[in-house]
Every structure is written in C-alpha cells, then in structure tokens.
Amino acid sequence: MKINNFSAGPSKIPNEVINTIKGSIENFNNLGYSILEISHRSSEFLDIVNNSKILFSQLLNIPSKYEIVFLQGGATFQNSFLPLNFPNLNKDIIFLLTGTWGKKTYDDFNLLFANNLNNITYNNHTLKQLTEEISLTKQDKMFLTSNETINGIQLRNFNSFNKQLYIDMSSDICSYGFSWENVEYVFAGAQKNLGIPGLTIIIFDPNKLNVQNIPSYLNLQNHLDKNSLFNTPPTFSIYVLYEMLNWMKNLGGLEYIENLNRVKSESVYAFLDSHEEIIQVPVNDEFRSLSNIIFNFKNKDYDKAFLEFAKENGFIGLNGHRSVGGIRVSNYNSITINMIDDLLSLINDFILKNDNK
C-alpha cells in the first residue's frame, strides 16, 4: 500500500532526496566508502559543511553579517543555550507566546533568569491588536515561535514588530522568505523542513554575542571559531541537510516553495471551511499556519474514527499532538500537491461514509 506521511516531525523526506542518500550510503561521491563512515575531519566533510552554509545563505537571503552554526541537542537545547550565551537578554527581552513551544522556552529562560521575564500571550488577538500591544512594551527584544507546530498558529510578518527578534523557526524555516532587518537570532531543529533529527541550525548576528565564562560545549564562541566542528558533529544529519538544501534550490528556491505551500494549504483550508457544519478549524484566518493545519470534527467520536480510516488507507501522522488531540495536517515542503489532493478525497470519503449512517 502507498503510504502518505503527514507527520509533524520527523517528517516526510522528498523521494528525490531519499534516492540520492541511498546512493551515498553505498558509495559517497565515488570515494568507495559510505557517507555513514565519513570523518568529520576530512576535506570532503568540510565541503559539505561549507556548501550547506552557502546554500542556506542563498536560499534565505541571509545578509553577510550573520553566522550559521550547526549544533546538537534539538531545538529544546536552545532554551538553555541561548540565555547562557546572551545573558544580557535578562534585561531586555519580552516573550510573545502563541502556543506550547514558546511557553516551554519562556519557562526555561525564566529558570536561568530568576523569573525576571515578561510575556504577551496571544488570545485571539488580531494582528493589529497584537502589534499595538507589543509596541507599548519597553523591551528592545522579543522572542517568538514563528510557527507553533502543535497549535497551528503562524507569524510571518516579522517587520510589523518594533523589536529585535529571537525566533524559534523549527517548523517553518525555509518554507518562505523573510527580511532579516530586525532578526538577531534564529534556531531550528532539522527534523521538519531540513531533514532528520540530531541537528539544530542557528543563524545569528555574532556582534550581539556576549559570551561568559561557561563550559566549553555550551559556549557558542567555540562552535563559531571551529566552524561547527568543535567536537564530533552529527555528520549524517548534516549531510541530509545538505541534500535537502540542494533539493530546495533545484526546485526553484523559496519563492517557488512558498507559493506551493500557499496553494496546498489554501486548498486544505478552503475544503475544511466548506464543511463547517461538521468540521471546526480553531485558528483565526490571520494566523492560520501554512505548515501545520489543525482541525477537529464537531462530533468528537469522528476524530478517532477518521484517524483509523486514514491509517487503513495508508495516511499516517495525521493525529494532533497528544496534548490537544484532533487532526493535524503537516504541510511541509516535502508534501506534494498530489498528496494533498488524495488527503482531501480521503476526508470527503469519510464524510460521505458517515453522513449516510
């Protein structure tokens, strides 16, 4: 049976990338050995690191003053790594909380910053109300989660906030382009649009780095000085990132990808809205995520029944996060228009089947 993987992460890897990786596992670049065996000190691996950084800069149009570093520990590690390396944030950062992941980051920061931090919590604001409320606060800097993977809430208008931004972009990095004008630090776990777990990418303005006397692995300056090779890095995860970036470039870059993501997500939301008598989409139009589309059936029994029906038909990863339930369609870059069409037919079949009962 054909499997359609809509998982929120780790998530679908494009077939083209899987095929390239298959070849590299057998024999990387005709070197006669596997990518799995590559030494992180070899010139071949150094090329992978440097070329990935170049591809990243090109795709995301990153200004030259920014640095890119590859780390481990997942996005969650950033919740302690970031405040340890930027202790001055204690004085001047506010958090914009739009969901579960931002709250986790906020709580971890507060542990290190003696509960000194303030937040604005999104509560069905309009974007205008939110920007107004933010503009009244005194802090220069703001943390936000650009896409709340569990809650399906996305913020893409970074320039509408009058703050220097620190952003968790784990679930929507490289799904659209943006201006770096007021962005100081971005982090993202790789396991959605950038490949597989084990790798976290950070992109930051090194002039803001305020390094203290902290243990060596925790010190960002060490990772920067050693070009992400301070200790043994997750070589395979970095290689997969490299192939994902090549794939995005060959597909047509972020403009093309963003457009595709828009077309796909708009067709899902339009379908869901056209069935509002039985389906509920809890996120307001302005904040609806292109990356994670959340909904539930008004009849609670239908959620479980639909997920079972989906699984029987080869559709996996559609369950909402265990903390919220419901259905979640993760529409990452690797999801094709055909997959979305097939999914909408599946939901339609489910509705017809149950309406006739």
Ligand X SMILES: Cc1ncc(COP(=O)(O)O)c(C=O)c1O
Residues that bind ligand X (CB under 6 A): 9, 74-76, 101, 145, 149, 168, 170-171, 189
CB of 152 vs ligand X, minimal distance in Å: 11
Judged by beta carbon, residue 189 or residue 317, the one nearer ligand X is 189
Strands (E), the chain: 4-5, 67-71, 93-97, 118-121, 141-145, 147-148, 153-154, 164-168, 183-189, 200-204, 279-280, 292-297, 315-316, 327-330
Q: What is the residue whose two structure tokens read 């597989």?
A: 196
What angle (nearest 5°) sits at the alpha carbon of residue 262, between those of residues 261 and 266? Answer: 120
CB-based closest residue to ligand X:
74
State in angstroms the smallest separation of the CB of 165 from ligand X. Answer: 15
Q: What is the DSSP-derived secondary structure letter of residue 35? A: G
Nearer to ligand X, 78 or 85 (CB): 78
The answer to whether residues 12 and 264 touch, using CB atoms and an 8 Å cutoff, is: no
Task: Tell me the closest approach of the beta carbon of residue 338 to ligand X, in angstroms.
Answer: 25
Closest approach, Cβ 334 to ligand X, in A, equals 16
Kindly tell me which of 71 and 347 has the beta carbon lying closer to ligand X. 71
**Cβ-contact 296, 326 below 8 angstroms:** yes
- Shortest Å distance, C-beta 169 to ligand X: 8
Cβ of residue 215: shortest distance to ligand X, in angstroms? Answer: 20
Distance CA(332)–CA(318), nearest Å, equals 13
> Closer to ligand X at the Cβ: 24 or 200?
200
Closer Cβ to ligand X, 148 or 303, answer by number: 148
Write the single-letter amino acid at 259.
Answer: N
168: Cα within 13 Å, side-chain hemisphere: 31
Closest distance between ligand X and the C-beta of residue 191, in Å? 6
Calpha distance 155→98 (Å, rounded): 9
DSSP-derived pairing of the beta strands 93-97 and 141-145: parallel
Q: Which is closer to ligand X, CB of 279 or CB of 293?
A: 293
Largest CA-CA distance found in the chain, in angstroms, rounded: 68
The smaller minimum CB distance to ligand X, of residues 14 and 99, is found at: 99
Provide DSSP, 150-161.
Answer: TTTEE---GGGS
